[in-house]
Chain A
């Protein structure tokens, strides 16, 4: 086991999160069981006050989780210097069998916590607080997911082993790999790219149609196809190496940290699309500006990834 300062920081924050979220969890169960706007007793008024505490706690956790995600990648990158064979975060994350799951949970939880806050903001504008029960039921699920993530994270760092030689991203993200990623390498990249642009055009169309369910679904699909096409195709142009498919390396300085820009725009774009659509379905009066926001950020993402192969082609006159 390792005890670097970074890991201690992550542990400390996890303990704080755990403490507060358990607190919030208990209150949430109470609210789900006893909340009734028509009741006018002390308990109902007490629950209302407690619900504000829970919301504050959730906002606190979410606001920290955003930069912590980046910090986690930073830390994994740094540890890669110590683990033989690992060249970037990918090697470190994949040196543990559930490393990938940790990542999936991290992203999922960011989406869910972000969505919860958006839902909460909508709810507090309503005098009857009619979404309160739903809101806290969602938090009960979110709490479980958070606990799973924290358990994964703690066991992840404590089972890192510096003596083990791991594969670097070059072999992890390749056709020959047997990792959980490998299935995507069976997709021909031309199909993946075609699909990616097709989904994006549908996203553009749906954002003008302003149909929430369609927009919701297309955003989810867009998120997945964007990641797949990034690994299969666009990534290789960022590295200018036809065989390098790693989705972490471009978070490093050599590539001007472009990965952060890509992931952040993709996150904002799809997040506002997904959460905006759901909120709109729940409440017809919800503002419709999420279409524009989602379209804007997703387009920025598409523009950046598209620019890489085009610039490469202009400079070199050939495709990779």
Chain B
């Protein structure tokens, strides 16, 4: 499903502040696996995730996702690729704080001009699933951390993605909410999705439904 071949990522190449974030990474993740990327801060987890999601391109090497060479795609196609395949849960949630939950959840679908009825139904099921139905109209900035987290998950699922990428999803949550998040991930895995979670939260390190744990250090695996 996801394959990284000899990936190197260098920031600010050939400049005084050159930064090698990833070095020669080789990686294979199969369909419907849950992978945990662990490593200290600055070890390159987020960088790797953004390469897989085609948000940026590797300096060297090749990434193949679902048969597509995403590392070589043109910008336009990468957007379509993300829209159709990837669900994102960001480190800081990256919700738009001045929009309400509903508006945040539908963001990924807007450019493809969704059918209103189907969309509303889909959003309602998601809101129900994460028990935030009563927060549908609330501005995101007025929600608690846990609620924001759930809005972010709902948003990552609105396009029915095959792959879910979560970057430090529990960094701002207490233990109870983190455990809840883990349960949700388990559910999502049961729905045949491929999941990658980058984290240094020890709660993730001995999950029974986790398929791979990849340890990162200074851009190496």
Q: Do chains A and B directly touch (beta carbons under 8 Å) in the complex?
A: yes
Separation of A129 and B78 alpha carbons in the complex (Å) = 13
Decide: A124 and B76 in contact? CB cutoff 8 A: yes
- Chain A residues with Cβ under 8 A from B76's Cβ? 48, 52, 124, 129
Separation of A124 and B75 alpha carbons in the complex (Å) = 11
Which residues of A in the span 89-131 have a Cβ within 8 Å of any Cβ on B? 124, 127, 129
Decide: A127 and B75 in contact? CB cutoff 8 A: no
Decide: A49 and B72 in contact? CB cutoff 8 A: no
Separation of A45 and B75 alpha carbons in the complex (Å) = 7
Judge if B74 is at the interface, Cβ distance under 8 Å.
Answer: yes
Judge if A282 is at the interface, Cβ distance under 8 Å.
Answer: no
Contact residue among B57, B71, B77 (Cβ-Cβ distance under 8 Å from A127): B77
Please, which residue of chain B has its CB at the minimum distance from the CB of A39?
Answer: B72
Separation of A44 and B57 alpha carbons in the complex (Å) = 13
- Chain A residues with Cβ under 8 A from B71's Cβ? 40
Which residues of A in the span 7-39 have a Cβ within 8 Å of any Cβ on B? 37
Q: Mark A35-62, 1 if CB is under 8 A from B, else 0.
A: 0010010001100110010000000000
Q: Mark B102-127, 1 if CB is under 8 A from A, else 0.
A: 00000000000000000000000000
- Chain B residues with Cβ under 8 A from A44's Cβ? 74
Separation of A37 and B75 alpha carbons in the complex (Å) = 12
Please, which residue of chain B has its CB at the minimum distance from the CB of A52?
Answer: B76
Decide: A48 and B72 in contact? CB cutoff 8 A: no
Q: Mark B61-91, 1 if CB is under 8 A from A, else 0.
A: 0000000000110111100100000000000
- Chain B residues with Cβ under 8 A from A37's Cβ? 74
Separation of A281 and B77 alpha carbons in the complex (Å) = 24
Q: Mark B47-64, 1 if CB is under 8 A from A, else 0.
A: 000000000010000000
Separation of A183 and B75 alpha carbons in the complex (Å) = 54
- Chain B residues with Cβ under 8 A from A48's Cβ? 74-76
B residues adjacent to A (C-beta < 8 A): 57, 71-72, 74-77, 80
**Could you show 18 A-B contacts with beta carbons less than 8 Å apart?**
A37-B74, A40-B57, A40-B71, A40-B72, A44-B74, A45-B57, A45-B74, A48-B74, A48-B75, A48-B76, A49-B75, A52-B76, A124-B76, A127-B74, A127-B77, A127-B80, A129-B74, A129-B76
